Structure 1
Amino acid sequence: MARDVQARLAYLQWQPSYTHTRPYRIGVFAGRRKRNIDRDKTTNLVFHVADHPETIRDIRGLSEAPAFDLDTNGFVYKRCLAPTLTKSYEYSDPQKVNDIFLPECEAILKEHVNGAGEVMIFDWKIRKKKSAKEKRTRNPNLQGFARQVHIDTLLTRDEIGTPLMERIRNHLPEESQHLLSGRVQLIILWRPISGPIEDHPIAVCDGRTLDASKLIESDMIRGNYTGTMLYPQYH
C-alpha cells in the first residue's frame, strides 16, 4: 500500500557572501587528498532544514499511477522490468554496465518517451552507501546519496552556462548534426537495482510548482572539471 510521509527537507539558505563569492562545493579532489585539510574550504554552501514538514506522497502501491507527463510536470513514473544486473557489486564493472544495463535503459526510454526515435546515453552514475574500500577507490561513477533539494541536470563536464545544443555537440560530435536536425530532450533516468527501496527513495516535485526566481546557481567541482548545480532557496 502507498504510504505518505511527513519530512522536513534541507534547502540552500542564501548567504550575504554569495553577492561577491559564487556558491561552490568541491566534491572530488584532483590528486591525493591532503591530511588535515580545512573542511570549511571545500564549500561555502549553507543548508537549512525547513521549519515545517512537507508531505511526500508514496507513489508505490497506488492502483493507478497519476498521469504525470515529462513536458508538463518535468517527470514521469513507469513500472518496468527489474534489471538483469541485480547485485550492486556487478556495477563496479563498467563493461557490464555498458553491455547489459545501459541497453536496457535505452529500451525503456524508447518505449515510454513519446517520439523517442533514438536514445544516446553519455553519462551514468550508481548511487549507494559507500563502503570504506569504495571511498578509497574514488570511483567517479559511484556516488553517495544526495541529501538536499536540488536540480542536477546541469552537472556536466561542459563549461558553465553551456546550452543544451552545444553540450550535444561536445558529447556526441559524430551524431550531433543528425540529432540537432530534430527535437532533442535531456532526460535523467532513475532506476532501482533491486527492490523494494526501503531507505533513501528518490523524491521529485512538479516543475510547475517551482519558483525559478528562487533558484541559486552554484559551482560543483569534481576532479578536474566544474559543473553547475541549481538549488531552490530556503525562504
Structure 2
Amino acid sequence: MLPKDVHVRLHYLNGQRNGEKETGKPSKTKLSCAVNALSVLETIHDVRGAHEEFNLDLQGFRFVRAPTKFEGWASKQEITKVYVPEIENLLRQEVDGCDEIHVVSIEGLDHCCNQPVHVDYTASSVESLLHETDETKANYLLTGRVRLINIWRPIKGVMSRSSIAIADGRGVDSLKDISKVDTGTPVRHVRYRDGYHWYYMSEQAEKDVVLFKTYDSDKSQPSSTCLRATFDIPNTATDMLSETIEIRALIFTHPVSKQVAHDQQSEEEVEMLKRKITSLSDEISESQALIRAGLNLRQWESSKTAEQMRHLISDRDHARTESLSLSMQLNYLEDWITNLYMLWGPSCHYDPLVERLQHLISSTPRLYQRLGQTRQAHASLVQNMGMYGPDVEILLLRRQLQAQHTENKRLKARIKAQVEDGMDEVFDSTLQTTVEYERGRDDSVIEGLRWEMQRLHEALEAKTSEKEKSAEAA
C-alpha cells in the first residue's frame, strides 16, 4: 500500500506570550476545536509501510501492531481489569527500561472535530503529579528516568474520517513552543512556527496502536515531548464518527548504581559470592543431617514411650486383677465373719471369741452394714422356709450368687474400658502434638535456608552478567 500524505489545516494558539503564568497542574478545561486559533496548512506524512523507522527515543513516537480480542469498551471496569494489563505488557515489550508502570488516566474519545495542536502535560505538571502521591518515592524515582507515554488505539473500525497526527519530538522546543498555563485560557496549546514534521497512519485500524511521549526526564534523548492534534481526512465520504481509547501511563526506570570500576573488584565479589553459596550449601547439608538425626531420635523416643506405655498397661491390668482378687477375698472374709457371728452369737454371748467378733463388727462400718444385710436375709429365709420348706434356701442362694457374678463382670468391663480409653487418648494426643511441633520448626529452618541460597544464586548471576556486559563494552 502506497503512503497517503495529506495536506490539512492544523489549529495553533493565536495569542501573546506576555503575562502568562504557569500553574503547574494540567487544566480540566476541554480543548476547543478552533477557539482563538491560527489555522496553518501542514503536510501530514503517512508512516504506512515505514513505521519501523520510528522509535520512542529518537522521534518520540512509534506505531506498532498490537491486535486485541478485548471488546468490552463500554465498561470502564472491564477496561481496567482486562485491557490495561494488555497495555502494560505491550509497554514492557516496546519500551526499554520499563521497571515500573503507573496508569494515569483512561479516556474514550469521539473525534467530532479538529483538536488544536497541544500537549497533555508539561514537565512541571508531571513532577507535581508525582509529588502528590509520595514525596519520598517521587524524589527517588526522579533520580532515575521518568516518561509519560500515551497509548492511542481506534476501537470501532478503520480511521477513515479523522485521525491523530503526531509531530516529531526532535523539532519541539518545550520552553518556547508550548504556552504556559493561565487560569482562564486553554492550557498546553502550541504556537505555530516553521519546522514541525507531522505524521499519521493511513487507514489506521484497531490493531494499529500509536505510542508517543509527552514527557521524558532524560534530557540526553533527542526528543522528550511530542505535539499532537486531530484532523479530518480530506476527500472522505463516510459520516461515521471515529471512536478511540487512550491510556496515559508513567514509565519508571529505577536509578542504577554506579558500575564497578575495576574488573578485579568484580571478580573478587563473584568469588566471595561463590564462597558464600558454598558455605551456605554446607550449612544446609549439616542442618539437614542434624534434622534427620533429630527426627531419628524423636522416633526412637516415641517407640520407647510406646513400649513404656505397653508396660504400664500390663501393670495396670495386673493391678486390676489383684484388686478384683482382693475384693473377692474381702467379701469372702466379711461373709465368713458375719455368718460365724450369726451362728455363735445368739447362743454364746459371753464367749471371748464372740465378744471379739462383736467388737470387730461394731468398729468396722462395712462389717456392721454386712451384718445388718445378713440378718435381714436370714429373717427372710426363715420366713420363706416356714412357707415353702428348706429347698427355697438353695434357690435364693443361687440367685444371689448369680446376681453377684453378673455385677462383678459389669464392673470389671466398665473399669477396663475407662482406663484404656483414658490412657490411649492421652498418649496419642501428647505424641501427635510433639511430632507436629518439631516438624513445623524443622520446616521453617529448611525454608529459610533455601530462600537465602536462592537469593545468593541470583546475586551471583547478576554479578556475572554485569561482568560480561563490562567486558563486551570494553
> Same-fold call, TM > 0.5?
yes
Letter of the aligned partner of 1:27 in structure 2?
T
Deviation at 1:216, TM superposition (A): 1.8
Deviation at 1:128, TM superposition (A): 1.2
Q: Deviations over 1:185-230 (max 9, x none)?
A: 1111112224321122110011112244233223478xxxx99424
1:198 to 144, 160, 174: 160
Letter of the aligned partner of 2:172 in structure 1?
L
Q: Which residue of 1 aligns with 2:96?
A: 114
- In the alignment of these two chains, the number of paired residues is 187
In structure 2, the CA distance between the partners of 1:216 and 1:179, relative to structure 1 (3 Å rule), is closer
Q: Which residue of 2 aligns with 1:47?
A: 37
Q: Deviations over 1:43-74 (max 9, x none)?
A: xx510212xx32111223x1x42422222222
Q: Which residue of 2 aligns with 1:12?
A: 13
Letter of the aligned partner of 1:200 in structure 2?
S
Q: Which residue of 2 aligns with 1:147?
A: 115
Q: Deviations over 1:19-44 (max 9, x none)?
A: 3476998736xxxxxxxxxxxxx9xx
Letter of the aligned partner of 1:218 in structure 2?
V
Is the contact between residue 127 and residue 145 of structure 1 (CA under 8 Å) also seen in structure 2? no
1:233 aligns with 2:192: yes
Is the contact between residue 83 and residue 193 of structure 1 (CA under 8 Å) also seen in structure 2? no
In structure 2, the CA distance between the partners of 1:174 and 1:114, relative to structure 1 (3 Å rule), is same
In structure 2, the CA distance between the partners of 1:198 and 1:175, relative to structure 1 (3 Å rule), is farther
In structure 2, the CA distance between the partners of 1:19 and 1:169, relative to structure 1 (3 Å rule), is closer
Is the contact between residue 122 and residue 171 of structure 1 (CA under 8 Å) also seen in structure 2? no
Gaps of 5+ in 1: 29-41, 130-143, 155-160
Q: Deviations over 1:113-161 (max 9, x none)?
A: 01212222021111115xxxxxxxxxxxxxx66521111224xxxxxx7
Q: Which residue of 1 aligns with 2:172?
A: 210
Structure showing the higher helix proportion among its residues: 2
Structure 2 CA distance, aligned partners of 1:145 and 1:100?
Answer: 30
Q: CA RMSD in A?
A: 3.6
1:189 to 132, 151, 154: 151
Deviation at 1:231, TM superposition (A): 1.6
In structure 2, the CA distance between the partners of 1:147 and 1:104, relative to structure 1 (3 Å rule), is same
Is the contact between residue 10 and residue 48 of structure 1 (CA under 8 Å) also seen in structure 2? yes
Structure 1 CA distance, aligned partners of 2:85 and 2:99?
Answer: 14
In structure 2, the CA distance between the partners of 1:219 and 1:101, relative to structure 1 (3 Å rule), is farther
Higher relative contact order (CA 8 A, sep 6+): 1
Gaps of 5+ in 2: 195-474
Q: Which residue of 2 aligns with 1:56?
A: 44
Letter of the aligned partner of 1:11 in structure 2?
Y
Q: Which residue of 2 aligns with 1:138?
A: none
Structure 2 CA distance, aligned partners of 1:172 and 1:82?
Answer: 34
Structure 2 CA distance, aligned partners of 1:174 and 1:211?
Answer: 30
Structure 1 CA distance, aligned partners of 2:183 and 2:106?
Answer: 17
Q: Identical aligned pairs, as a percentage? A: 27
Is the contact between residue 12 and residue 234 of structure 1 (CA under 8 Å) also seen in structure 2? no
Q: Which residue of 2 aligns with 1:124?
A: 106
Deviation at 1:175, TM superposition (A): 6.2
Q: Which residue of 2 aligns with 1:168?
A: 130
